[in-house]
Amino acid sequence: MACGAVAAGYGAGAFGSAVVAVAVGVGEYLALDTAAGIQGERTRRRLLELVGLLNRWCAVREDLLYAFEKSAASGLGEPMRGHVRDLVTRIRGGMGVERSLEMFGDVADQAQFREFVTSVRFNLRYRGDLSKFLEGTETQLGRIEEEYNRRRISTSRDRAIVLAVVAAVPPVALAILTGPGSARDLFFGTSLGNLAAYLAAGLYLAGGYLLLSASGVRG
């Protein structure tokens, strides 16, 4: 009988350790995923800003290097301004435009940014209409940004509900488990109760992550 209790306690402890490890891993992944989403959104907005400036300066003089140079000096936000300055410096220093643009496209791992840089390279290689290309790209990116904003506004209530539900569970559970009554003894006084508590915590973390992912709270 005593051996069975020890085995049950050991099993609960091992399972609890596994749940804690999974919880830490899920937390780190969620934090990194959130940071990546925020960075991607920032890059998308900076790209729209850059294309708008390039379009306006190319209307003054249809010279891509001139447009990049003027855009970097026209209040373009960081870190895009620093990347554009590096691009201009490389070209002014004698590096080929194709290679310079290729390196410029590697500064951000964001699909729209990479597609834009690739399109610029093809436009220059095949001598396309740069002004028309930039004007069309600005219009397209503007529509994409409007759609992102529309979706963000239309789902704000759903996001608030999801966040409220996810945030309400820990304080309610804490109040039940630390208050008087049989719940505390059930979960903290027996090996089976500990096992159930760890399992509930693991399911809560997994469910909370899925809810946040589905609602787009992470950006």
What distance in Å separates the CA atoms of residue 125 and residue 108, rounded to the nearest whole number?
22
| The residue type at 41 | E
- Cβ atoms of 83 and 107 within 8 Å: the answer is yes
What distance in Å separates the CA atoms of residue 56 and residue 197, rounded to the nearest whole number?
61
So what's the pLDDT on residue 2? 45
Q: Could you tell me the pTM of the whole model? A: 0.57
So what's the pLDDT on residue 88? 94
What distance in Å separates the CA atoms of residue 70 and residue 93, rounded to the nearest whole number?
17
So what's the pLDDT on residue 90? 94
> Domain locations in the chain?
40-153, 155-215
So what's the pLDDT on residue 40? 58
Burial of residue 113, with CB atoms counted within 10 A of its CB: 0-12 exposed, 13-18 middle, 19 or more buried: buried
Per-residue model confidence as pLDDT tens for the chain (219 residues): 444 444 444 444 554 555 555 555 555 555 555 454 555 577 788 888 999 999 999 999 988 899 999 999 887 888 889 999 999 999 999 999 999 999 998 988 888 899 999 999 998 888 888 889 999 999 998 888 888 777 665 555 666 666 777 777 777 777 766 766 666 666 676 777 777 777 777 777 777 666 666 555 444
